[in-house]
């Protein structure tokens, strides 16, 4: 079996793993690189490269760093040979929404030659038509049911507990005349997540690929997270009479943050008069997410029912138009404004930062991982000013990181999942983590489980 990591090696974006065994060739994920000065070049290079014939693609979930380059397969040059893409039903519903938004952002960026270009890409890699063609190749599979994307391959998708529809892939294939099992963890979530059901235990594996986003640290407990959120909201909204701006990933994090507000407001631990979700994509993602009640947590389902009945303990409004979004900048106090993108690299969040970062009475609350090179990472790391729309903007607002809401498992949780693997794998690869996180997780695996793990390097060929 041959493995080649085309992305998410030494970093947390661009997830894509090429697998070859006995003439069968397939990808696990096909993600976009996000953040940093070289993201555009990486995307263009990856998008345009020839990777040869593919029999199929396994997609673990719908975040852009895992699915964002899938439309490469919709290019006319592929003709009728577009590979079939297999994923869960929620993921199949979410992917067209996420990719259509990505195509729109790329086209909008390219049409504004005089303005700052998005670091995602300099010119459109694909169009809405490409996304529509690609969507015809999505095949929805239920969790836990074996299917055969190829006569020599059997696959089961297991709940990864990351976002709705996220999966770990158990892939049984023929390799050198023997049956072997490859397990790719995908992005693993914490079992305390507010939005999705707890993840499944891992299956047995001969070859195991595991993510390491937080391989070097743990998250705060939910109790500590709630206490910090209550304190930040009270100080910013009540004592300082400002706003709280929340950069959030439109898929998953925006919904989970609002569920946390619901949980606290229902218990009368906070009073939040106005909550705005300024992201059309977040609204679409919410509609798809709550259409899959069997995949979400009980409290998330309760929130959904309360929202539909208009019985939320606060005012929640989604903004759709640009004018609605611009109106939020006139609100000087009392508002929680949730907007994408989660790493502040594009989207409406940049406008809200421009209007609220310089104000000492306001707060900015990060709820997810900030990749190296992103605007969000610079703010979290203590920058005193940042560049926004061609001007320097002072960072006077208080800055907070709400670590307990991460959709990625912390170090102890990763070890717990790995410890549950039924038998010792013959080979273990660590990917989807910055170097410190990957090396720290590898050291702990060696110390506690006596596993010798390989830290994946980009474009390296591994034979196992």
Per-residue model confidence as pLDDT tens digits over 396-408: 999 999 878 888 9
∠ Cα 333 336 340 (to 5°)? 130
pTM of the entire predicted model? 0.91
Task: Give percent of the chain with pLDDT exceeding 70.
Answer: 96
pLDDT in tens, 31-44: 999 877 788 899 99
Q: What is the mean pLDDT of the chain?
A: 92
pLDDT in tens, 439-457: 999 999 999 999 999 999 9
Question: Which pLDDT score is estimated for 75?
Answer: 67
Question: Which pLDDT score is estimated for 281?
Answer: 93
How far apart (Å, rounded) are the C-alpha atoms in residues 242 and 361?
5
Helix 253-266 × helix 222-233 angle, to 10°: 80
Question: Which pLDDT score is estimated for 110?
Answer: 64
How far apart (Å, rounded) are the C-alpha atoms in residues 297 and 263?
13
Residue 79 has pLDDT above 50, yes or no: no
State the pLDDT confidence band at 81, using cuts at 50, 70 and 90.
Answer: low
pLDDT in tens, 115-154: 444 444 468 999 999 999 999 999 999 999 999 999 999 9
What are the φ/ψ torsions at residue 367 (nearest 5 degrees)? -120, 5
Question: Which pLDDT score is estimated for 76?
Answer: 59
How far apart (Å, rounded) are the C-alpha atoms in residues 196 and 341?
21
Domains of the chain: 2-217+407-463 (3.60.15.10), 222-405 (3.40.50.10890)
How far apart (Å, rounded) are the C-alpha atoms in residues 64 and 33?
9
pLDDT in tens, 368-413: 888 888 899 999 999 999 999 999 999 999 999 987 888 899 999 9
């Amino acid at each position: 079996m041959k493995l080649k990591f085309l992305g998410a090696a030494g970093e947390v974006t661009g997830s894509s793993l090429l697998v070859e065994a006995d003439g069968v060739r397939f990808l696990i994920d096909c993600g976009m690189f996000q953040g940093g000065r070289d993201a555009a070049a990486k995307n263009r290079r990856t998008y345009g490269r020839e990777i040869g014939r593919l029999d199929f693609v396994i997609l673990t979930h719908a975040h852009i760093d895992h699915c964002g380059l899938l439309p490469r397969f919709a290019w006319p040059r592929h003709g009728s040979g577009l590979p079939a893409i297999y994923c869960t039903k929620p993921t199949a519903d979410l992917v067209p929404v996420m990719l259509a938004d990505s195509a729109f952002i790329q086209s909008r960026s390219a049409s504004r030659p005089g303005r700052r270009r998005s670091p995602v890409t300099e010119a459109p890699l694909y169009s809405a038509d490409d996304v529509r063609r690609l969507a015809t190749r999505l095949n929805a599979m239920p969790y836990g049911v074996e299917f055969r994307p190829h006569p020599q391959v059997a696959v089961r998708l297991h709940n990864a507990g990351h976002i709705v529809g996220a999966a770990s892939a158990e892939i049984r294939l023929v390799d050198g005349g023997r049956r072997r099992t490859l397990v790719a963890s995908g992005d693993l979530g914490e079992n305390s997540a507010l939005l999705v059901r707890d993840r499944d235990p891992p299956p047995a594996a001969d070859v195991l690929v595991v993510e390491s986003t937080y391989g070097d640290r743990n998250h705060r407990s939910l109790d500590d997270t709630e206490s910090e959120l209550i304190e930040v909201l009270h100080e910013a909204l009540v004592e300082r009479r400002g706003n709280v701006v929340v950069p959030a990933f439109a898929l998953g994090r925006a919904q989970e943050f609002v569920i946390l507000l619901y949980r606290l407001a229902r218990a009368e631990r906070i009073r939040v008069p106005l909550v705005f979700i300024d992201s059309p994509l977040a609204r679409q993602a919410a509609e798809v997410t709550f259409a899959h009640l069997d995949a979400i947590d009980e409290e998330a389902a309760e929130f959904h029912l309360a929202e539909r009945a208009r019985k939320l303990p606060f005012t929640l409004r989604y903004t759709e138009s640009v004018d609605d979004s611009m109106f939020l900048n006139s609100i000087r106090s009392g508002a929680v404004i949730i907007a994408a993108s989660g790493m502040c690299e594009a989207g409406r969040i940049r406008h809200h930062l421009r209007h609220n970062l310089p104000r000492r009475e306001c707060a900015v609350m990060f709820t997810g991982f900030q990749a190296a090179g992103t605007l969000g990472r610079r703010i979290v790391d203590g920058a005193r000013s940042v560049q926004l729309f061609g001007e320097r903007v002072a960072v006077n607002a208080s800055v907070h990181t709400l670590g307990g809401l991460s959709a990625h498992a912390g170090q102890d949780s990763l070890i717990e999942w790995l410890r549950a693997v039924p038998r010792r794998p013959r080979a273990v690869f660590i990917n989807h983590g910055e170097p410190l996180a990957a090396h720290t997780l590898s050291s702990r695996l060696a110390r506690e489980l006596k596993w010798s793990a390989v830290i994946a390097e980009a474009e390296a060929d591994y034979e196992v």
